[in-house]
Amino acid sequence: MAQNANTPSHVGIIMDGNGRWATGRSLPRLAGHKKGAEVLEGIIEHADDIGVKYLSVYAFSTENWKRASDEVSGLMSLFEYYLKNKLEKFKPKHGRLRFAGRRDRFSASLLEAIENFERETRDETGIQIILCVDYGGRQELVDAVKNIVSSGVAPSDIDEAVISRSLYLPDVPDPDLIIRTSGELRMSNFWLWKSAYSELYFTDTLWPDFDNAALDEAVAAYATRDRRKGGV
Ligand code: FPP
């Protein structure tokens, strides 16, 4: 029977268009990222209100290090600022904050802030907010393969379950719905493995203009999808 639940349990968002939003206003690109972070605060709260259980957001990809150094350092400072000063606003009551991505390229203070919040919210049972930072789907698979090889599993024992449990957050279910803003029609290395049967939703709205109504629209579109997942 086709699944057609009204509310997706896991929503992933590729938050695109911050740069264009800023340049369209003759502002530096970082102003777009700052506005994007404010928008994310509201979207987290709304996602929680409408019953989303996992919200994963693509905040910095493994490829984003190639950007101008002032944009990269500005983004890193923005992440750290939020984790250190704004988390009460950023994280709903009982929300749990998690991270997906590489951890070996952050400054010591950013890594510490990340680890603090993972630890402090570890036992929370509300919505899980997953920040994908220095995340790349291909890198996630490379890291999974390294884990599998170093664990000594025999090749004949490797199956989908072995790979799934070697990924960054094995207990986080596959995204039901992935939203990408700003009119780009690509996945850009987001949740490569977990997105196999995700429903995709694209909107021309730039991320800094995305609001509660835009999330409601995406969720309403999801509710009309016939999720056969390869079945009939
Ligand atoms: C893509 O837009 C956006 C990013 C690379 C950064 C996303 C980060 C945020 C929204 C801030 C999140 C904040 C916290 C605290 C997690 P783009 O810059 O590629 O836009 P463009 O395609 O218009 O240039």
Contact in structure between 172 and 149 (CB atoms under 8 Å):
no
Q: Which of 18, 23, 184 to mutate to test the pocket of ligand 1 (most atoms within 8 A of CB)?
A: 18
16 lines ligand 1 (CB under 6 A): yes
Ranges 1-10, 156-165, 200-209: which has the least confidence? 1-10
Residue 5 is predicted with a pLDDT of 60
pTM score, two decimals? 0.95
What is the Cα–Cα distance from 128 to 189, expressed in whole angstroms? 21
**Who has greater pLDDT, 1 or 106?**
106
Kindly state whether residue 143 falls inside one of the protein's structural domains: no
Beta sheet of 177-180, edge-to-edge order:
96-100, 128-135, 54-61, 10-14, 177-180, 199-202
Residue 6 is predicted with a pLDDT of 84
Kindly state whether residue 230 falls inside one of the protein's structural domains: no
Structural domain that includes position 27: 10-136+174-223
Residue 1 is predicted with a pLDDT of 33
CATH number at residue 46: 3.40.1180.10
Q: For 60-95, how does the pLDDT look when each residue is reduced to its tens digit (9 = 90+)?
A: 999 999 999 999 999 999 999 999 988 777 788 899
13 lines ligand 1 (CB under 6 A): no
Specify the ligand 1 atom closest to the Cα of 90.
Answer: 15
Q: For 127-179, how does the pLDDT look when each residue is reduced to its tens digit (9 = 90+)?
A: 999 999 999 999 999 999 999 999 999 999 999 999 999 999 999 999 999 99
Q: What is the mean pLDDT of residues 183-189?
A: 98
Give the total number of structural domains in the chain. Answer: 1
Kindly state whether residue 161 falls inside one of the protein's structural domains: no
What is the Cα–Cα distance from 12 to 226, expressed in whole angstroms? 19
Residue 228 is predicted with a pLDDT of 77
Kindly state whether residue 150 falls inside one of the protein's structural domains: no
